Homo-oligomer: A and B are copies of this chain.
Amino acid sequence: MDSKIEKEIVIKRLKDKGYLLTSQREYILNLIIKNDNHLTIKDICHLVEDPTIGQSTVYRAIKLFLSLDILRKINFGDNDYYELSLENKHNHHHLICSECGKIIEVGFDYLEDLEKKIYEDYGFIVKNHTLRFCGICKECEMKRSADAKTYEK
């Protein structure tokens, strides 16, 4: 696992409920971390084909991690992705480029005011939120305007 601290948190969360951090489970977590936290189950099944981990084990591990809040599921369009749910990562957003598919994480939150207003208007107490933006990333936009210039000639 990336850092020793994270690994210890994972072991603790598992142990508290009587589970173990097996080599397969650790391998799967590392895969997700190494791939920017944005893998689908299909991706994982393919990536573990070599050091063969059975796909039932993949499904079981993901489910377990979700239930212990070690992973969190995020949904972009047609696919479910999994990302580490440790630390205080609860308040970040995702930018998805519709041109190249890149996923960018936004570090700031800025929804406190909105949550306050929701409580005032609807009496709804917000515990958690997910926000994703679709659009065009910087690089794709630059490519686009470069192409546009070419046509002008």
Interface residues of A (CB under 8 A from B): 75, 95, 97-98, 104, 106, 108, 110-111, 113-115, 117-118, 121-138, 141
Contacts and interface: CB of A to CB of B under 8 A. Distances in A.
Nearest to A128: B134
Most B Cβ at <10 Å: residue of A127, A128, A130, A133: A133
Nearest to A102: B124
A115 to B, nearest CB: 7
A115 B133 contact: yes
Contact of A114 (B97, B98, B110, B130): B110
A118 to B, nearest CB: 6
Contacts of A136: 124-125, 127
B133 A128 contact: yes
Contacts of A115: 133
Contact of A104 (B124, B133, B134): B124
B128 A130 contact: no
A128 B135 contact: yes
Nearest to A76: B75
Contacts of A135: 124-128
A131 B134 contact: no
Contacts of A97: 124
Closest 4 CB pairs of A and B: A123-B138, A75-B75, A126-B135, A127-B135
